[in-house]
A and B are shown apart, each in its own frame.
Chain A
Amino acid sequence: QKEVEQDPGPLSVPEGAIVSLNCTYSNSAFQYFMWYRQYSRKGPELLMYTYSSGNKEDGRFTAQVDKSSKYISLFIRDSQPSDSATYLCAIANTGNQFYFGTGTSLTVIP
């Protein structure tokens, strides 16, 4: 079993839709949860960073962590064509362990 699982998609939504991206992980020891966004032919860039459980909001983006279910989510409100990218979740703990999901490809259609 992989440490973190992510649905690869692809996901295609109309402009303005709410997008939900999700990952599950297997080890409850992980405490740091991140979402990276990767545009075509570019390196991934950090989008959201959360520690432990709860929600974090930044503009149209909300990251949610449910440690009891080992489930992390990224919500995008009012999605825009510029949000079209691959989104990767990442998990880490203080013991030098960290893992990336395989990424979900998102296309927002104008």
Chain B
Amino acid sequence: DAGVIQSPRHEVTEMGQEVTLRCKPISGHDYLFWYRQTMMRGLELLIYFNNNVPIDDSGMPEDRFSAKMPNASFSTLKIQPSEPRDSAVYFCASSQQVNTEAFFGQGTRLTVV
């Protein structure tokens, strides 16, 4: 398995535009997580799914953020409209159980200007 695959690796967009981040988890992993990392706040959990169902989205900062997992091999995180304060590295991770090793993707570095 190639690991968790995220795309794009880098995204630069203008304020107000829609941004879609994509993630392919490791096959067989039942849990998928979306994190945001900044220097100021560290690694923050935004939302996680179990068997494609959202379990906890309390970390999603506002209604501008939405996440979907239409099937076991694909998830998206969408920001609409984007704002400069959304600039961060967004990580997707997957695991077999919530209390076992989480495998992270390489991250998407988002810059909103």
Contact = CB atoms under 8 A, between A and B. Distances in A.
B41 A102 contact: yes
Interface of A: 8, 31-32, 34, 41-46, 49, 88, 90, 92-94, 96-103
A32 B95 CA distance: 14
B43 A43 contact: no
A96 B55 contact: yes
Contact of A46 (B45, B102, B105): B102
Q: Size band of the B side of the interface? A: 10 to 19
Interface in B42-86: 42-43, 45, 50, 55-56
Contact of A34 (B91, B101, B105): B101
Given A94-B99, A103-B43, 12 more contacts: A31-B99, A43-B4, A43-B93, A43-B104, A43-B105, A44-B102, A45-B104, A96-B98, A97-B98, A100-B35, A100-B42, A100-B43
A88 B99 CA distance: 15
Nearest to A42: B106
Contacts of A97: 98
Contacts, number: 47
Contact of A98 (B42, B50, B99, B104): B99
Contact of B91 (A8, A43, A49, A102): A43
A102 B43 contact: yes
Nearest to A103: B42
A49 B43 contact: no
